[in-house]
Structure 1
Amino acid sequence: MSRPVPHARAAYPYLHPTPTRWADNDVYGHVNNVTYYAYFDTAVNTYLARAGVLDPQRGAVIGLVVETGCAFFAPASFPDRLSVGVRVAHLGQSSVRYELAVFREAEETACAQGHFIHVYVDRESRRPTALPAELRRALEGLWPGGRP
């Protein structure tokens, strides 16, 4: 398996500002690997909430994470100011694959990048369901270079 190459900041249509916190560092003096997944989740869900397509308490359709991954290229640590880039790599009938990258403030290439897949399900039955039209439109705004 070949090692991924860090992406450029410009490859991501949405950038979410993400300051590091004191608690993000581990005993080795850098942001702990699991913290990157919280950054990813926060960036995606902030985008969806601002687009008006995420209602975690009452929405009929919810996204469940079924797969994640992350590659690390360079350390980040408190008090770095980061941005998390978000883009959509695949949009299915009931699922979406997000690709994400973490950028330190003055750097154009990612210090870490990863992905996660949401499968959208009916809140009550937990069975996969088609993406609502307004959610699909919001996700299309995350395609690199515009709509698919």
Structure 2
Amino acid sequence: MSKPSAHTPDQYYTHIPITTRWMDNDIYGHVNNVVYYSYFDTIVNQFLIERGGLDIANGHNIGLIVHSKCDYHASIAFPIQIKGGFRVNRLGNSSVEYGVAIFADDSKTACAQGVLTHVFVERSSQKPVRITGKLRAALESAVMPEI
């Protein structure tokens, strides 16, 4: 199985600045692989809250991750400013697949890139619900052609 080529910043709808932290580094002196998933979660949720109006604390509907994947291309280490790329790969009735990436400083290619899939459910029943309203409009605006 071949690894996909590293993406470029222009392949993403928007970019979100992230500051690495001392605790992100592992004993090998670079950001640990599991931390990238935390960055990915931050990128997605910042978009959903700021642009989609998602109320993570009290909203009727919430998104649950049902799939995630990451391909690593280059290591990064604290202290460094990074930016997270965000896009919507596919938008269904109750699910959405995001494309996410991490870019170091002014790097022309991603250090890491991946996908996350959310299924939106009713908070109390955990049953899938349609994505509607402001959230759907925000997600539709971020849909980009397949990479």
What is the TM-score when the length of structure 1 is the normalising length? 0.94
Which aligned segments of 4 or more residues in structure 1 are displaced greater than 2 angstroms? Answer: none
**DSSP 3-state at the match of 2:62:** strand
Deviation at 1:52, TM superposition (A): 4.6
Q: Secondary structure at the match of 2:36?
A: helix
1:137 alignment counterpart: 137
Offset at residue 144 of structure 1 (A): 2.5
Alignment of 1:64-79 (within 5 A): 64-79=64-79
- In the comparison of the two structures, how many residue pairs are matched? 145
The corresponding residue for 2:29 is: 29
Question: Residues 7-52 of structure 1, C-alpha deviation per residue, up to 9 Å, x if partnerless?
Answer: 0001111101011100000000000001001101111111111115
1:28-78 deviation digits (Å, cap 9, x = unpaired) = 000000100110111111111111521011111100000101010000100
Partners in 2 of 1:48 and 1:124 — Cα distance? 20
Aligned residue runs from structure 1 range 1-148, under 5 A: 1-144=1-144
**Equivalent position amino acid for 2:105 in 1:** E
C-alpha separation in 2, matches of 1:27 and 1:140: 41
The TM-score with structure 2 as length reference comes to 0.95
Give structure 1 stretches of 5+ with no counterpart: none
- CA apart distance, 1:140: 1.2
d(CA) in 2 for partners of 1:25 and 1:80? 11
Query: Unpaired segments of 5 or more residues in structure 2?
Result: none
Using the TM superposition, give the Cα deviation of residue 2 of structure 1 relative to its aligned residue in structure 2, in angstroms: 1.7
